[in-house]
Structure 1
Amino acid sequence: MRQIPVRKNETIEVNFEDLTHDGAGVGKLNGFPIFVQRALPGETGKVKITKVKKNYAFGRLLELTKESEYRVDAPCPIFKQCGGCQLQHLSYEGQLKHKEKQVRDVMERIGGFSSLTVHPTLGMLDPWRYRNKAQVPFGEEEGGLIAGFYAERSHQIIDMDQCAIQHEQNDKLVQIVKNIAKKYGVRGYDDKTHKGTLRHVVTRYGYKTDELMVVLVTKGKELPNKKNIIQDIQAELSNVKSIVQNINPKRTNVIFGEKTEVLWGEEVIYDYIGDIRFAISARSFYQVNPEQTKVLYDKALEYAQLTGAETVIDAYCGIGTISLFLAQKAKHVYGVEIVPEAISDAKKNAKLNGIENVDFAVGEAEKVLPWWYAQGIRPDVIVVDPPRKGCDESLLETIVKMQPKRVVYVSCNPATLARDLKYLEEHGFLAKEVQPVDMFPHTSHVECVVLIELV
């Protein structure tokens, strides 16, 4: 039986050699992994062991005796408390290199791809203030209203007035709502007692249009001084185009409830990705980093190699973002998505842009694609952009049956991507190259686009 080389509360010196998928430093003692937040590869430090399991342990970094050349001071004052960013202490150059290595390692370990081309990560010129959507929980502390982000792995709200990765307009709007709510005595929600009024404030900003939406998520329909709150928000920011209330009466971690009502202004705001205009409602799924979304979609379009003669299927199409990009160069695009509201948005977005060579269907991709196949639809290219769990195996079986010339795989999880690529390789396809894209700087997440060809 393997001897566990560490004990809880013991202090040891650890050499760090890697990062986990969620950004923790990985050190080893006699081959036994020790995970430590905010430690970096190439560093050595004194660590207090906080938890010991059978196959690994967790520790807290006490001091560094050797620092990484890529270590920087995190500019955010609450970086160590907040769970939003994991990598602000790693220089941006270091982050891009780490994400490329992460993808390369996962491809080899899970997929068995030792010689697959993984390109350097496509990053941002300015990797700050990129998020166009804020979801800020509200609460009470010593009788006063607070708003911020949750501490790491907890439901404790850290009161704050700005976030280094949020667009300044979102920060400004959240603070305005916070001050107005305080002015009118609106109580923050307490998830322990299920009391209070204001649960979350969600803001959305159109980078290209400069339009703002604010969504007040409340426990019940009642919002004290509603009329005055609406007037004050309008008076403070002239580019607010939509004020919405969402009601969520449940004891739940889910932000939105079922009922949404426009209190003032429009039901949607607008933004562009490239030349495509999108209508964004309170609950629309829309990529939070529009600048890098354009980079991601341009790469997907490049890999699709469209000449204008191709039939394309976009599985997991959402509100039609990739579908409408592809439709500019394809003969016809078929999009499928399980969320009915997303398909409704996709149809509206197609109409908004005068794009007619698209059809959208509601349903599970693994069921709709075989039905399309039975109708005689033969795609030249299939694009998949699945959730973190990756593609359903029955969808992969259908792709194999349809035999498209190319598959373009857009992924937010390198591990499930590697698993799915392995399946496709075993069934007559060849993964040609992987392009990591940094959609979420200063976090541990990385997106990838993969070109896959029928052999």
Structure 2
Amino acid sequence: MAGIVNKNEIYTGQVIDFTHEGHGVVKFDRYPIFVPNAIKDETIEFKVIKVKKQFAIGKLITIKEASENRVEAPCEYYNVCGGCQLQHLGYSAQLEMKKEQVVNLFKRKSNFEDTIIHNTIGMENPWQYRNKSQIPVGRNREGEIELGFYRQRSHDIVNIDHCMIQDEKHDQIMIKLKALLEQINISVYNEQKHKGELRHIILRSGYYTGETMIIFVTNSKQLSHKNKIIEYITAEFDNVVSIKHNINLEKSNVIMGNTSHTLYGEETITDKLSEYQFKISDTSFYQINPVQTEKLYRKALEYAQLDGEETVIDAYCGIGTIGSYMSQQAKHVYGVEVVEQAIENAKENAEINHIDNATWEAGKAEEVILKWQKEGIKPEVVMVDPPRKGCDQTFIETLIELSPKRIVYISCNPATQVRDVEILKRSGYQLKEITPVDMFPHTTHVETVALIEKTNN
């Protein structure tokens, strides 16, 4: 199909759809051109900057006819920062776009025509929701400290003073730490040379408690000016209850290393979800958006259809958040997670919340579940919340052998979820319902929770 358009030439076209990355799609004779920042139903003028056999990439030049869903992005860094992709699209249209992504994956690209796909559950106030910020540290050409986020499709740092989707407390800490690091002239990491000390600063906060943890990630076994840093932070910020040093000596894009030390205060911070309290360590998985997490978990609990008599297995259980929710209506919950620190947190959290009908075990889900099966544990419901890569193939085979009545599958990547559900479908399961949940407003990410039931055949 190449030859329909030519590189560096300017064209006018109608935007007919969105890609999963939120780019507008223009088609010439069925040949798609993807144009960032263009919105469905707009007429645009664009320049072709890349031509491939199956598609082309365009750069938006002029909006001839704007969509009624186009809004002015409120963030001054929006056009350069890669953190958000959809601030130019009205929020209700974002929610509709995310539902369409799910419909496209499950109904148009896969054969789940009978599945009910609900509207996306959104936020009343879709700003300042992130309780975790991972901030790269660098220096500009003048040698000044930069803290911020990466430019789109690069590892160049956009130096910022505030972020409209992160906790406001993080803005204040970021600004003051920038001044401190400049003052002490700390060595910063150079990714190309794999030299220098400070790589990232990670901020984690309890949305409801306000407790904050600061983690300094270094390419060194010691944190320079450690005492001065601690003294400054504790004098400036009453809400900081934990300061940690994480060591990452690897030449990779992975942000955190495997070794952490507590420099000041507590090992964990505490947050609340509904009536439950949770202790969160520096390495624990905890949902980024607590307001939406409660909505997500309520929907998962609804799909589980518990009446107090069911045994539930919570695979990929993390620190036990969803398992705690399930425990209030289940006979017993068994949680498994490969990260040992998370299981320690889960046990501690169960004790804090007076949960006595839950068992937590560290290990690979497929191995631990088989062990439980040999011990006579037969779950009616399995709760699954895997990482972006989806469920491990061996785990799915184990799940099919376990044969629960219902599977509640939470996914942060519907593309891998549909792959896994297709395998389950071939083994006698039916995908009944999916509800998208907007965990990351103004980005293209969408979370889904699905109800999968065993058929009678």
1:15-52 CA distance string (max 9 Å, x none): 21111112111211111111111111111211111111
Other-structure match for 1:434: 434
Other-structure match for 1:359: 359
Q: How does 1:165-314 map to 2 (within 5 A)?
A: 165-314=165-314
Report how far residue 94 of structure 1 moved: 0.4
Question: 1-side partners of 2:185 and 2:334: how far apart?
Answer: 50
1:334-393 CA distance string (max 9 Å, x none): 111222222222222222222121112222223332332222211111111112222233
Asked if structure 1 preserves the Cα contact closer than 8 Å seen for 2:312 and 2:382, the reply is yes
1:45-103 CA distance string (max 9 Å, x none): 11111111111111111111111111101111111111111111110000011111111
Question: 1-side partners of 2:171 and 2:163: how far apart?
Answer: 7
Asked if structure 2 preserves the Cα contact closer than 8 Å seen for 1:316 and 1:365, the reply is yes
Instruction: Provide the secondary structure at the position in 1 that maps to 2:299.
Output: helix
Question: 2-side partners of 1:3 and 1:192: how far apart?
Answer: 36
Question: 1-side partners of 2:213 and 2:30: how far apart?
Answer: 51
Asked if structure 2 preserves the Cα contact closer than 8 Å seen for 1:248 and 1:258, the reply is yes
1:405-454 CA distance string (max 9 Å, x none): 21111111222222222232332222221111000000001111111222
What is the percent sequence identity of the aligned residues?
50
Other-structure match for 2:328: 328
Question: 2-side partners of 1:250 and 1:421: how far apart?
Answer: 36
Structure 2 residue 390 is the aligned partner of structure 1 residue 390: yes
Instruction: Provide the secondary structure at the position in 2 that maps to 1:294.
Output: helix
1:253-292 CA distance string (max 9 Å, x none): 1111232111111111100111111111122111110110
Instruction: Provide the secondary structure at the position in 1 that maps to 2:424.
Output: helix
Asked if structure 2 preserves the Cα contact closer than 8 Å seen for 1:50 and 1:59, the reply is yes
1:53–1:179 Cα change, 3 Å: same
Other-structure match for 1:369: 369
Other-structure match for 2:64: 65
Mean CA deviation greater in 38-47 or 371-380: 371-380
Asked if structure 2 preserves the Cα contact closer than 8 Å seen for 1:111 and 1:419, the reply is no
Report how far residue 202 of structure 1 moved: 0.6
Other-structure match for 2:90: 91
- Letter in structure 1 aligned against 2:403: Q
Report how far residue 197 of structure 1 moved: 2.5
Question: 2-side partners of 1:258 and 1:381: how far apart?
Answer: 33
Other-structure match for 2:104: 105
Instruction: Provide the secondary structure at the position in 1 that maps to 2:448.
Output: strand
Other-structure match for 1:51: 50
1:128-157 CA distance string (max 9 Å, x none): 000001110010111111111000110100
Other-structure match for 2:139: 140
Question: 2-side partners of 1:103 and 1:51: how far apart?
Answer: 28
Asked if structure 1 preserves the Cα contact closer than 8 Å seen for 2:131 and 2:289, the reply is yes
| Runs of 5+ consecutive residues of structure 2 not aligned to the other structure | none
Instruction: Provide the secondary structure at the position in 2 that maps to 1:61.
Output: strand
1:223–1:424 Cα change, 3 Å: closer
TM-score w.r.t. length of structure 1: 0.96
Instruction: Provide the secondary structure at the position in 2 that maps to 1:283.
Output: coil
Question: 2-side partners of 1:114 and 1:441: how far apart?
Answer: 28
Asked if structure 1 preserves the Cα contact closer than 8 Å seen for 2:112 and 2:431, the reply is no
Question: 1-side partners of 2:9 and 2:231: how far apart?
Answer: 58
1:339–1:4 Cα change, 3 Å: farther
- Letter in structure 2 aligned against 1:73: E
- Letter in structure 1 aligned against 2:310: E
Instruction: Provide the secondary structure at the position in 2 that maps to 1:361.
Output: strand
Structure 2 residue 81 is the aligned partner of structure 1 residue 82: yes
Question: 1-side partners of 2:257 and 2:118: how far apart?
Answer: 41
Report how far residue 3 of structure 1 moved: 4.9
Other-structure match for 2:114: 115
Asked if structure 2 preserves the Cα contact closer than 8 Å seen for 1:50 and 1:58, the reply is yes
Question: 2-side partners of 1:111 and 1:364: how far apart?
Answer: 29
Question: 2-side partners of 1:262 and 1:392: how far apart?
Answer: 33
| Runs of 5+ consecutive residues of structure 1 not aligned to the other structure | none
Instruction: Provide the secondary structure at the position in 2 that maps to 1:355.
Output: coil
Question: 1-side partners of 2:386 and 2:207: how far apart?
Answer: 26
Question: 2-side partners of 1:224 and 1:402: how far apart?
Answer: 52
1:431–1:258 Cα change, 3 Å: closer
Asked if structure 2 preserves the Cα contact closer than 8 Å seen for 1:111 and 1:421, the reply is no
Other-structure match for 1:449: 449
Question: 2-side partners of 1:374 and 1:224: how far apart?
Answer: 52
Question: 2-side partners of 1:260 and 1:387: how far apart?
Answer: 22
Other-structure match for 1:151: 151
Other-structure match for 1:7: 6
User: How many pairs align?
Assistant: 454
- Letter in structure 1 aligned against 2:449: V
Asked if structure 2 preserves the Cα contact closer than 8 Å seen for 1:4 and 1:32, the reply is no
Question: 2-side partners of 1:432 and 1:252: how far apart?
Answer: 41
Instruction: Provide the secondary structure at the position in 2 that maps to 1:155.
Output: coil
1:178-212 CA distance string (max 9 Å, x none): 11111222233221233333211111111111111
Instruction: Provide the secondary structure at the position in 1 that maps to 2:231.
Output: helix
